[in-house]
Chains A and B, each alone.
Chain A
Amino acid sequence: MTRSGLVLALLSGAVLSSAAADDREYQQAQFDYQLHCQGCHTPDGSGADSVPRMKNEVGVFLQSKAGREYLVRVPGSATSALNDKRLASVLNWMVREFAGDSVTGEFQPYSSAEVSELRQQPLNEVDKYRAELLQALTGATGRKQ
């Protein structure tokens, strides 16, 4: 094998193994969503009754710093049984799967470190906080909730 052939083989090996790791992370996030979130948020993120709808909506929160933080500080996230890495991963999965066109611009994925810090301050008065947050966001973006 020539040197360039060897380099090519090594590179394609690296690409393949990173694709396999991405695939594993995706499957883990999907499974974590099923076990820890889907019971209330429903399989496609539509929600039900008092469970807020995430489908085509959840990206709105990413338009402000407080909104981005809210998605981690909300008790379902902050106090979940998932560790920081898997919580970050399932949040990123939810945004990619459910946000649709409610995300404007490029989505910066949550990191373990960011999630680790934010979940130290879980929200108490969630409904009130959420309503105020969305009111501020609607005022800023003109998007109807």
Chain B
Amino acid sequence: MKFLDRWIEQGSRDLAQRSSRRGLLKGLGGFLVGTASIPLLPVARASAAQGAGQPQEEGDPSSCDYWRYCAIDGFLCSCCGGSANTCPPGTEMSPVTWIGTCLNPADGRNYVISYNDCCGKSSCGACLCQRDEGDRPPYRPDKTNDINWCLGTTSAAYHCSTAIVVGVALEES
């Protein structure tokens, strides 16, 4: 114990000789300002911007109420062996699709949603949802969900619908 006592005392005296109270304040101040300014660096902004493309999520993708389904009309792939982003095995995602925006309640922002249909098998039959927000009559074909969007696929048989986030909507200035 005597060794420990001597060691601590020696260390304290050395420290007291080499440093001052102002030096401590300077170091501590620098540390506080330095750490506070880290979020201002470009690297922090870049990671925040990246996060903007991947929205915060809440809700159940197997429910019609899920935020991304605001304009859906069809069977949810989430209930058919796929997910809100992917097709069930044995089906092919149509590259041609219809696109709208939905408000994400988790962060209050609007996102661009692509309702790619999964094709090549007969109708899934589970979780039929029809919300139709922003749906337009067929004379506005790029904004209607009443037509079969299995276009550009080998089979035109409709199975289910996905709802993929493809971007952040631009807010009106």
Contacts and interface: CB of A to CB of B under 8 A. Distances in A.
Interface of A: 24, 27-28, 30-31, 34-40, 42-43, 48-51, 81
B114 A39 contact: yes
B99 interface: yes
Contact of B152 (A27, A31, A51): A51
A31 B112 contact: yes
Contacts of B142: 36-37, 39-40
B13 interface: no
Interface in B145-173: 151-152, 166-167, 169-170, 173
Interface of B: 95-101, 112, 114, 140, 142-143, 151-152, 166-167, 169-170, 173
Contacts, number: 47
B98 A39 contact: yes
Contact of A35 (B95, B96, B101, B173): B101
Chain A CB count within 10 A is highest, among B95, B101, B167, B173, for: B95
Contact of A49 (B112, B151, B166): B151
Contacts of A42: 95-96
Contacts of A49: 96, 151-152
Contacts of A35: 99-101, 112
Contacts of A39: 96-99, 114, 142
B96 A31 contact: no
Contact of B99 (A27, A28, A38, A50): A38
B140 A81 contact: yes
Contacts of A48: 95-96, 151-152
A24 B173 contact: yes
13 contacts: A28-B170, A34-B166, A35-B99, A35-B100, A39-B97, A39-B142, A40-B151, A42-B96, A48-B151, A49-B96, A49-B152, A50-B152, A81-B143
A31 B95 contact: no
A50 B118 CA distance: 18
B167 A34 contact: yes
Nearest to A46: B95
B119 to A, nearest CB: 12
Contacts of B143: 81
A50 B98 CA distance: 16
A49 B152 CA distance: 5
A16 B112 CA distance: 29
A36 to B, nearest CB: 6
Counting chain B CB atoms within 10 Å of each CB, which of A30, A37, A38, A43 scores highest? A38
